[in-house]
Amino acid sequence: MTDPVLAVDGLCKRFGALTVTDGVGFDVRLGEIHALIGPNGAGKTTLIQQICGRLVPDAGTIRFLGEDITRLPTHRRAQRGLARTFQITRLLPGFTTLQNVATAVQRRRGSSFRFVRPVGRDREIDAAARALLQRTGLGGRAEVPAAALSHGEKRQLELAMALALEPKLLVLDEPMAGTGREETARLVELLRSLAGTLPMILVEHDMSAVFALADRISVLGDGRDIAPGTPAARRASPAGRAAARGEEAAGPRSGRARGGRPARAAPRGWAAAP
């Protein structure tokens, strides 16, 4: 079997007496979409921050493309092909859709910020940016300011900018957050079009999207992966169903999310997922 693109082993992160990530281990294989689900407070964000380099784990290892990156800075991980989109979009609102993608293309190529020149002066960058807009369904929105895009279109633009970095692994942090049903459907189709060519980690509360996209799912509960396996195994696992609904595994904090917050309602689409 081909070595995984990403391998996380025994990852732990503590903040004082609170253990937020507790020995988590999983991997992402070539062309795979691996989803991370679980209630608010289960440790998903802390885990992602360790993978992307914003937090340094207290124990465990992270290997990316065979290299130990556990203590590598964020920008070094990005240079190696680890890209992330955020729950809250991070765009240049005063720039056009095309200019936003052009900045990402230039960042990847290490060129100066010449996108402010008239269109046609940087033909290669312009062509690359327009191709990415076409790929992400924004071909007709190139000259529209980013601030004028709908919420779903901003998600598509953020994805185009991530793809401009030519990632070898894409980390998607709740890409469906705040989107309506039609926008979610468009994003699911867009991500499905990338499946098999670009490995992804998908952090998401929308279970309809998760089951439509994921090859494997890791369910986090109380900082641990309590139900690893395929989507079918997830639905069959009482622990996995409980964690996805916001209920902790059996223990002193059963039925409540980390930090004493009430268990959240079942995520959208869990019961209806095939």
The answer as to whether 209 is a domain residue is yes
Position 2 scores a pLDDT of: 77
Angstrom distance (rounded) from CA 47 to CA 28: 14
Distance CA 36, CA 173 (A): 10
Tell me: pLDDT of 118 over 90: no
143 pLDDT tier (thresholds 50, 70, 90): very high
pLDDT at position 251 over 50: no
Pair 172, 162 in one domain: no
pLDDT number for residue 120 = 44
pLDDT of residue 227: 57
Using CA atoms, how far apart are residues 222 and 245, in angstroms rounded to an integer? 13
Q: How far apart are CA 13 and CA 228, in angstroms?
A: 20
Helix (H) or strand (E) holding 220: strand 216-221
pLDDT, residue 109, reads 77
How many domains, the chain?
2
How far is Cα 61 from Cα 221, in angstroms, rounded to an integer? Answer: 20
Which residues constitute the domain of residue 208? Answer: 1-81+168-274
Listed residues 148, 166, 184: the one ending a domain: 166
Identify whether 33 is part of a domain.
yes
Q: How many alpha carbons fall within 13 Å on the CB side of residue 74?
A: 10
In a domain, residue 49? The reply is: yes
Q: Are strands 216-221 and 33-37 parallel, antiparallel or unpaired?
A: parallel
Percent of the chain clearing pLDDT 70 (strictly above): 77
119 compared with 75, residue with greater pLDDT: 75
Q: CATH number of the domain that 65 lies in? A: 3.40.50.300
252: pLDDT confidence band, cut at 50, 70 and 90?
A: very low
Residue 195 domain-assigned? yes
Residue 17 and residue 116 in one domain? no
Q: What is the pLDDT of residue 146?
A: 96
Cβ atoms of residues 77 and 53 within 8 Å: yes
How far is 170 from 5, CA to CA, in rounded Å? 11
Integer Cα distance of 87 and 171 in angstroms: 11
Residue ending a domain, among 119, 142, 166, is 166
Residue 266, pLDDT above cutoff 70 = no
Helices 97-109 and 151-164, packing angle to 10 deg: 20
pTM: 0.81
| 65 shares its domain with 27 | yes
- At 227 the three-state DSSP class reads coil
* Cα(217)–Cα(232) distance, integer angstroms: 9
Higher local confidence (pLDDT), 252 or 55: 55
Identify the weakest region by mean pLDDT among 22-26, 163-167, 216-220, 259-263.
259-263
Residue type, 251: G
pLDDT digit string (tens) for 196-237?
Answer: 889 999 999 898 999 999 999 998 887 777 555 677 766 666
Better-predicted residue by pLDDT, 71 or 221? 71
Tell me, yes or no, whether 177 and 207 share the same domain. Answer: yes
Query: Mean pLDDT across the chain, nearest whole number?
Result: 82
**What is the per-residue pLDDT across 1-30, written as a single tens digit (0 to 9) for each?**
578 999 999 999 999 999 999 999 999 999
| Rounded distance between C-alpha atoms, residue 217 and residue 227, angstroms | 8
Same domain, 221 and 271: yes
First to last CA, the chain: 29
> Is the residue at 86 inside a domain?
no
Choose among 104, 83, 78, 90: nearest CA to 155.
90
Last residue of a domain, one of 166, 181, 198: 166
